[in-house]
Structure 1
Amino acid sequence: MRLRSLGALSALALLTLPACAAEPISDVFLSRFTWQSTGETFGGFSGLELSDDGRSFVAISDRGSIVAGRIERTDGKISGITSGEIERLTTPSGGELGQSEQDAEGLAISPTGTRVISFEGTPRIWAYGDKGATELPLPPAFGSLQTNSGLEALAIDETGALYTMPERSGGLTQPFPVWRLKDGRWSQPFEISRSGGFLPVGADFGPDGALYILERSFSGFAFQSRVRRFEIDGDAIAAERTIFTSDYGSFDNLEGIAAWRDEAGTIRLTMISDDNFNILQRTEFVEIRVEE
């Protein structure tokens, strides 16, 4: 989601504090790294996927672009980012995205390598393969999603089933519906609870089969992030726990999340922030571990 309320510089001033603050105090926090680059298309990263070994990544921007790169680590901490050129996404007909079509938010990569992207402004899901983009069929329920709060999170499980959810549920205590596309048919197998002012912004299935959901809260001055882990059993949630909650202002606007297992066998969650193309924000990678 593009936070259009971030125009007031006085409110955003607090967002610059973590850049020079001490490392966040958390048992699961591993590292953070600010990714800097030049060019008008750099920024706004809203979705993230990593390779199984955590060394390669693909990220999408809510300005309708995609980029691939490598993550360097020293002593287990992120120490560098290298990437190729940022490329513009195209429509299923091969044309350029219009300004109102660019709001790419969710990214998931299928077992066959297809890059599936959800868009928020006009809710839709496109699958990008070797021959370009293909528009996936959508259920009627997507037509009633709130403006600028559409399909924010996207994830694919090991069977190839696609899961997505909106950023807003329609009420402060109303759960978020989770939709699933499996065997060519949409269903809404379960929902996740809403609490603490947090809204879902990213999702990924981990190597343990669990669904990890990244959530964000915005105070008007700073961001707070939370990650919840869900064990899915068929059409129901079998178990849920919160594995990470940051303090306000610890990190920037974290929106993308990817789960993978390192050489020591530990599941890591790598997250990326959306800087809203604002000079007072930054693009940062943040990494935590999952305590099993």
Structure 2
Amino acid sequence: MRLRTVLATLTAGLAAATCLSAAGPANAQQNGACSPAVSINGFSDVLDKTTYGGTFVGNFSALAVDADGSLAALSDRSALFDLDAKTLAPKAVVPLADENGAALDSEGLVVDRPHSRLRSSGGTPTTTLLITSETEPSIRRYSPAGKILDRLPVPDSLRVAPAGRAVTNGTFEGLTLLPGGRTLLASMEYALSGDTAGIVRFQTWKRTKDGHFSLAAQYAYRTDAGLGVPEVTATPDGRLLVLERGFTAGVGNTVRLYLADPRRATDTSGIDTLTGQDDVRLIKKTLLADLVNCPSLGATAKQPQPNPLLDNIEGMAITGHTKGRLKVLLVSDDNQNAVQTTRFYDLRVRV
């Protein structure tokens, strides 16, 4: 296994085993700058095409910091890995399934910690996991051992056709809990049938007194042309980091990081068709970085990419923050494909 890093080390979330210097003579290359707001500390391919306990390590679609400080990494093949925060070495894997024992297309992950939840019936705080499956779509609450505890309601319109208007493989990719733990938000990857292409819906739920979640407001977000939303993560001040991603055969991936603010957006839960009409205030977004502009740091790609650092980036977690600066960890989904890479990216983001 190889662990490739640059500068001194990756952050506390990624400890370095081998160091590489940033490639290229330009200052932006030397300091890791991707844009004025985003810089990259390093990347790691240490888990690419590895196995743990007979389970393939990869297909990662979401990341979260667990209650004990370790890293939870969700595979879209119905598996949840516990990774060492410093070395990324897998420590455990938990299989996931639906109520009938069938596999999930598991895409979004929230670690719901005791401080933001009601106490269990026994009076002991418990950490649980909220996990989306893109198939229906659905959101289920699991115990750390993988037992289903609860299932959240989903609006009929967001269900995959013919039950609703969502397109297959275009539903709940992102999931995040807003500061305070009272509001859960899930992002659709693509627009509903009938909505204007590129306008995707973000659904929220409010936590009830008994600790469950009930349907709440819905908002609309416009992606850049040809891109979808694979992940969304709440910042400490209640805004959102939003990943937009696309792929063009023979060219490679486009990955952009936006800062978004839903607080003045229109509640679209009662609007059947979104056409970009003037009376609907979309979620406001600001580009933080197009990752094609990051220094490549000596990375190599197994297929054409506009920057060899890029891959199918799909997971994101905030691992630390100080005074408007965030430590952000990204991961790519290799789809268990020989020409794709499981790669972790360590970013510094100024918001």
TM-score by length of 2: 0.67
Equivalent residue for 1:108?
A: 110
Equivalent residue for 1:165?
A: 187
CA distance in 2, matches of 1:202, 1:175: 15
1:175 aligns with 2:199: yes
Aligned 8 A contact 1:273 1:285 in 2: yes
1:214 aligns with 2:243: yes
Aligned 8 A contact 1:154 1:204 in 2: yes
Once the two structures are TM-superposed, the CA of residue 264 in structure 1 deviates from its matched residue by 8.1
| Moved >3 Å (runs of 4+) | 21-25, 170-174, 234-239, 262-265
Matched AA of 2:204: R
Equivalent residue for 2:90?
A: 83
CA distance in 2, matches of 1:177, 1:238: 10
Aligned 8 A contact 1:272 1:283 in 2: yes
CA distance in 2, matches of 1:136, 1:165: 15
Q: 1:127 to 1:52 in 2, by over 3 A?
A: closer
Give the alignment partner of residue 143 of structure 2, picking from 129, 149, 170: 129
Q: 1:263 to 1:163 in 2, by over 3 A?
A: closer
Once the two structures are TM-superposed, the CA of residue 40 in structure 1 deviates from its matched residue by 4.3
1:153 aligns with 2:183: no
CA distance in 2, matches of 1:52, 1:239: 31
1:196 aligns with 2:212: no
CA-to-partner distance for each residue in 1:199-257, whole Å, 9 max, x for gaps?
A: 10011112232211112110113112111112332655775311121223431111011
TM-score by length of 1: 0.79
Equivalent residue for 1:17?
A: none
Q: State how 1:217-232 maps to structure 2 within 5 Å.
A: 217-221=246-250, 222-232=252-262
Gaps of 5+ in 2: 1-21, 24-28, 115-126, 208-212, 267-281, 293-305
Once the two structures are TM-superposed, the CA of residue 288 in structure 1 deviates from its matched residue by 1.4
CA distance in 2, matches of 1:226, 1:281: 19
CA distance in 2, matches of 1:63, 1:81: 19
Aligned 8 A contact 1:275 1:281 in 2: yes
Once the two structures are TM-superposed, the CA of residue 172 in structure 1 deviates from its matched residue by 6.3
Aligned 8 A contact 1:48 1:60 in 2: yes
Aligned 8 A contact 1:52 1:260 in 2: no
Equivalent residue for 1:76?
A: none
Equivalent residue for 2:119?
A: none
Equivalent residue for 1:35?
A: 46
CA distance in 1, matches of 2:348, 2:241: 12
In the alignment of these two chains, the number of paired residues is 259
1:271 aligns with 2:330: yes
Once the two structures are TM-superposed, the CA of residue 260 in structure 1 deviates from its matched residue by 3.3
CA distance in 1, matches of 2:136, 2:67: 32
CA distance in 2, matches of 1:286, 1:223: 15
Equivalent residue for 1:56?
A: 70
2:98 partner SS:
coil
Once the two structures are TM-superposed, the CA of residue 26 in structure 1 deviates from its matched residue by 1.7
Q: 1:196 to 1:29 in 2, by over 3 A?
A: farther
CA-to-partner distance for each residue in 1:134-165, whole Å, 9 max, x for gaps?
A: 22222212222111212111111123311112
State the percentage of identical aligned residues. 24
Gaps of 5+ in 1: 1-20, 73-79
1:139 aligns with 2:155: yes
Equivalent residue for 2:295?
A: none
Q: 1:51 to 1:264 in 2, by over 3 A?
A: farther
CA distance in 1, matches of 2:94, 2:75: 10
CA RMSD of aligned residues (A): 2.7
Give the alignment partner of residue 285 of structure 2, picking from 232, 240, 257: 240
1:84 partner SS:
strand
CA distance in 1, matches of 2:283, 2:154: 27
Aligned 8 A contact 1:32 1:286 in 2: yes
Once the two structures are TM-superposed, the CA of residue 61 in structure 1 deviates from its matched residue by 0.7
Aligned 8 A contact 2:175 2:185 in 1: yes
Matched AA of 1:148: N
Tell me which protein shows more strand as a share of its residues: 1
Aligned 8 A contact 2:129 2:144 in 1: no
Q: 1:230 to 1:122 in 2, by over 3 A?
A: same
Farther-moved stretch of structure 1 (120-129 vs 180-189): 180-189
Greater radius of gyration (CA): 2
2:340 partner SS:
coil
